[in-house]
Amino acid sequence: DTGVSQDPRHKITKRGQNVTFRCDPISEHNRLYWYRQTLGQGPEFLTYFQNEAQLEKSRLLSDRFSAERPKGSFSTLEIQRTEQGDSAMYLCASSLVLALDEQFFGPGTRLTVL
Amino acid sequence: SQQGEEDPQALSIQEGENATMNCSYKTSINNLQWYRQNSGRGLVHLILIRSNEREKHSGRLRVTLDTSKKSSSLLITASRAADTASYFCATDRSNSGYALNFGKGTSLLVTP
């Protein structure tokens, strides 16, 4: 399967702990996006990268959140000092510059903060 | 913030019937996309329509766009049980052009 993959698929943590999620985009895609989706809502944009450069961050991305894409391939999203309000599905997507604006989404990481 | 608003929030139909979902948005766009999300699966891109297009077809899907009313509709013809999913419209964020603004979605249930 050469689609977008995310790891882990599920994460349960206690409030105050740090968590890190990984996203592997489709190999030739140079744009990578992170979204967050809560129950009954559509995905909300968090941040995106073009190659290794983080070009935009949403105001939803508080200082407890950090994302990296060190070599322009996979990306990590870290949440420090998790809060119960961080419980959500974290979705990663990738797309190709100069292609249509279709984004390809991974299956998501479901985070539950107890 | 979420730009799009889908209507209705939930729709229940029988197999073979047509399903129509509407989306309204607030600011100018370059394109509008529709995505499907099945329970337990990721979002799947269905169709994209650009701001200079009025109608587009893909298989059993038909999308219309009215930029003067800032609205779009998705029609699924001859629905199947496998079409049961949540459907989201997504608009590009004109100030960045890349990340998407999604609505809250329409939950479609197709019963045999």
Query: Residue A1: its pLDDT value, please?
Result: 55
Q: Flag if B104 and A101 touch (Cβ within 8 Å).
A: no
Interface of A with B in 73-92 (CB under 8 A): 91
| DSSP letter string, chain A | --S-EEE-SEEEE-TT--EEEEEE--TT--EEEEEEE-TTS--EEEEEEETTEEEEE-TTS-TTEEEE-TTSS-EEEEESS--GGG-EEEEEEEE-TTS-S--EE---EEEEE-
Instruction: Please give the residue that has the higher pLDDT: either A102 or B33.
Output: B33
- Mean pLDDT is lowest, of A22-36, A54-68, B86-100, for B86-100
pLDDT tens for chain B, 112 residues long, are 456 788 899 999 999 999 999 999 988 888 899 999 987 678 999 999 999 999 999 999 999 999 999 999 999 999 999 999 999 999 986 555 578 889 999 999 999 9
- How many Å apart are CA B92 and CA B23, to the nearest integer? 14
Return the residue in A37, A103, A110 with the most chain B beta carbons within 10 A, the one to mutate for interface testing: A103
A96: closest chain B residue by CA: B98
Q: CA separation (Å) from B50 to A43, A102, B30, B47, B91?
A: 21, 12, 6, 10, 10
Q: Flag if B42 and A108 touch (Cβ within 8 Å).
A: yes
Chain B closest-CA separation from residue A102 CA (Å): 7
- Mean pLDDT is lowest, of A1-10, A42-51, A96-105, B54-63, for A96-105
Query: Residue B2: its pLDDT value, please?
Result: 53
pLDDT-derived band at A100 (thresholds 50, 70, 90) equals low
**Averaged pLDDT for residues A83-91:** 96
Residue indicated by tokens 């996309």 = B33
The structure tokens listed for A97 are 């510059």
Q: Flag if B42 and A105 touch (Cβ within 8 Å).
A: yes
pLDDT-derived band at A98 (thresholds 50, 70, 90) equals low
Which chain B residues are closer than 8 Å to A106 by Cβ?
Answer: 42
Considering only CB atoms, B104 lies closest to which of A31, A40, A107, namely A40
Considering only CB atoms, B100 lies closest to which of A4, A103, A104, namely A103
The highest-confidence range among A11-25, A32-46, B26-40, by mean pLDDT, is: A11-25
Compute CA B96 distance to the chain's CA centroid, rounded to the nearest angstrom. Answer: 21
Q: Which residues in B have their CB inside 8 Å of a CB on A? A: 2, 4, 30-31, 33, 35, 41-45, 48, 88, 90, 92-93, 96, 98-105
Q: What percent of chain A has pLDDT over 90?
A: 76
Considering only CB atoms, A42 lies closest to which of B48, B99, B105, namely B105
